Amino acid sequence: MKFEPYWLDTTPAFDKSAGGTIERRADVAVIGGGFTGLSAALALAKKGASVVVLESNRVVGEASGRNGGHCNNGLSLDFGHVVDRLGFERARDLYLAYDAAVDTVERTIAEEKIACDFRRGGKIKLAAKPDHFKAMARSHELLLRDVDSEIDLVSDADIAAEIGSKQFHGGLIQRKSAQMHMGQFGVGLAEAAVRSGARIYEHAAVTGLQRSSGRHRITTQRGTIEAAQALVATGPSSKGPFSYFRRRIIPVGSFVTATEPLTETLADSIMPRYRTATTSRAIGHYFRRTSDNRLLFGGRARFTLPSRRATLNSGRILQQSMRTMFPQLESVRLDYCWSGLVDMTADRMPRAGEHSGLFYCMGYSGHGTQMSVHMGRLMAEIMNGNKGANPLHDLKWAAIPGHFGPPWFMPILGAYYRFKDRFC
C-alpha cells in the first residue's frame, strides 16, 4: 500500500518550476502553490502583472493534492441551518457563489485545455438517520423554490438506485456538482500560470514577512523578494510568519484511501452513477469512483494531526467503515492511504479579504476545490481594486479563543462530534 496521495502518484511531475535564486522584485507575490494561489497567479499574470508564486513544498502538494476529488456546488453546511443563522438572502448568495465556483473550474479547464477527467455527475448527500433526511427535505424545499432547480430529493424507498448500501435513509442530489483528477488539474493549472508569465518557485518556504513604504519584503529559503502586493493562500500553515491566520484556522486531519481497481460490475454495485457522495454524520465519510474504477473513501477517521502512524491507523478505521457500508468490498485490498490538513474555520465558511496590507483567501473547511479556484480568480479582481467582487466580504473573522497554533482542543472536539453522531 502506498502512502502517497493517489492524485500525485498518478500525475506527471510539474517540471516548469523556476530555478536558482528568487527574483528580487515583482508586482505580486503569491504565497502558496495550491489551487487558490495558482488560480490567482494565472488571473493576475493574464492582467499583465509580474507574478511570483512561493510554494514551501511542491505544487499542489498539500490540501489541493490530498483531498477526496470532489468539486461540489452547495454549501458545506445544511442550507436550512445557514438560513437560520444568516437569513435567506445571504444564504442564497453564498450558495450561488459555490454554483459559480464549479462553473469557474469547468471554464478554466476548457480555456487552458487541462486533461483531468472532469465530469459533472452530481453529488449525493446521504442521510445516515431518518431525522437527517427530514433536515434534507427542508433544505430541498427552500432550495428548489428560490435557489437551485437542479436538485432532487431521493426517498428511503428509492435510495438503492443511487447507492449499494443499506445504511442510508434517503438523500439529496445536487446535479451541478462535479469531480476530476486533482493532481492532473493542479499541474495543468500551474503550467497555465507559467505560460501566462508567472514564475513558480517550489521549496521556497516563507520565513519572514515585513511591510515598509507600501511594499512587502518576503524572505524565503531561496532568497528575498519585494512585491507591491502579496496574497496569502497557505491554508492551515503551521510554520512561517502567519500567526494572525493560525489563530483563526483549525487544522483538521483528513484521511483518504483508494482501493485497487474494481471490476465494472462491482463498481456499479456500489455506485451505479458517477456521483460524489458524502454522509450526513458529523464525523462522516466522503467517497467516489475514479476513472479507473477505484473507490476513493475518506473521512476524519481520527481527530489528530496527520503522521505516518496516524495515517496507517486511520486507514484501518476507514477500511473497516468502508466494508461495513459496502460488504461486497470485504476482500478488496487498499492500494493507497494518505492524509492531509483541512483549513477549518469556526463556522465552516471560507474567508477572503485584506489584513494589514496582506490579501488572503483560505478557510475552505473541506469544501474547497471549487471555491479555491473561483476565489483565486476573484482575488485578482479584488487586488485590482474591485472590492465588490468578494462574495465573502461581510463575514467577520475573530480569533478562536485560546487557539495560538497547534489545536490542543481536538480531542474535546472529537468527543463532541461523536456525541452528536450518537444522540442527534
CA dist., res. 16 & res. 55, Å (int): 13
| Model confidence band, residue 237 (pLDDT cutoffs 50, 70, 90) | confident
CA dist., res. 82 & res. 130, Å (int): 21
CA dist., res. 286 & res. 280, Å (int): 10
Question: How many other CB atoms sit within 10 Å of the CB of residue 399?
Answer: 14
| Model confidence band, residue 269 (pLDDT cutoffs 50, 70, 90) | very high
For every residue of 333-401, DSSP letters joined together read PEEEEEEEEEEE-TTS--EEEEETTEEEEE--TT--HHHHHHHHHHHHHHHTT-GGG-TTTT---PPPT
The terminus-to-terminus CA distance of the chain in angstroms comes to 36
- pLDDT: is 38 or 416 the higher one? 38
| Model confidence band, residue 321 (pLDDT cutoffs 50, 70, 90) | very high
CA dist., res. 9 & res. 29, Å (int): 29
| Model confidence band, residue 404 (pLDDT cutoffs 50, 70, 90) | confident
Angle between helix 182-195 and helix 35-46 axes, rounded to 10 deg: 30
Q: How many residues appear in the chain?
A: 424
Instruction: Determine the pLDDT at residue 306.
Output: 77
CA distances (Å), 88 to each of 51, 96, 220, 390, in order? 39, 12, 45, 19
User: What is this structure's pTM?
Assistant: 0.95
H or E element that contains 219: strand 215-220
Instruction: Determine the pLDDT at residue 286.
Output: 96
C-alpha cell at 2: 502506498
Average pLDDT over residues 17-26: 94
- Percent pLDDT > 70 in the chain is 97
Whether 125 contacts 367, CB under 8 Å: no
Which tens digits make up the pLDDT trace of 92-128? 999 999 999 999 999 999 999 999 999 999 999 999 9
CA dist., res. 57 & res. 203, Å (int): 5
- Looking only at the bridges linking them, the beta strands covering 250-259 and 295-299 are antiparallel
Is it the case that residue 391 has pLDDT exceeding 70?
Answer: yes
Which tens digits make up the pLDDT trace of 277-289? 999 997 789 999 9
Kindly report which listed range (117-131, 326-340, 409-423) carries the lowest average pLDDT score.
409-423
Give 211-214 contacts, CB < 8 A, sequence gap 24+. Answer: 211/356, 211/357, 211/358, 214/357
Question: How many other CB atoms sit within 10 Å of the CB of residue 259?
Answer: 24
Is it the case that residue 6 has pLDDT exceeding 70?
Answer: yes
Instruction: Determine the pLDDT at residue 309.
Output: 86
- Mean pLDDT score of the chain: 94
- Residue 141 identity: E
Closest CA to 240 of 276, 207, 278, 216: 207
What's the helix, strand, coil split of the chain in %, to 5? Answer: 35, 25, 40
Identify any residues that bridge with 124 across adjacent strands, giving them in sequence order: 173, 277
Instruction: Determine the pLDDT at residue 424.
Output: 72
CA dist., res. 43 & res. 40, Å (int): 5
Domains present along the chain, CATH in parentheses: 6-413 (3.50.50.60)
Instruction: Determine the pLDDT at residue 407.
Output: 78
Question: What is the DSSP code (8-state) at residue 189?
Answer: H
Instruction: Determine the pLDDT at residue 303.
Output: 59
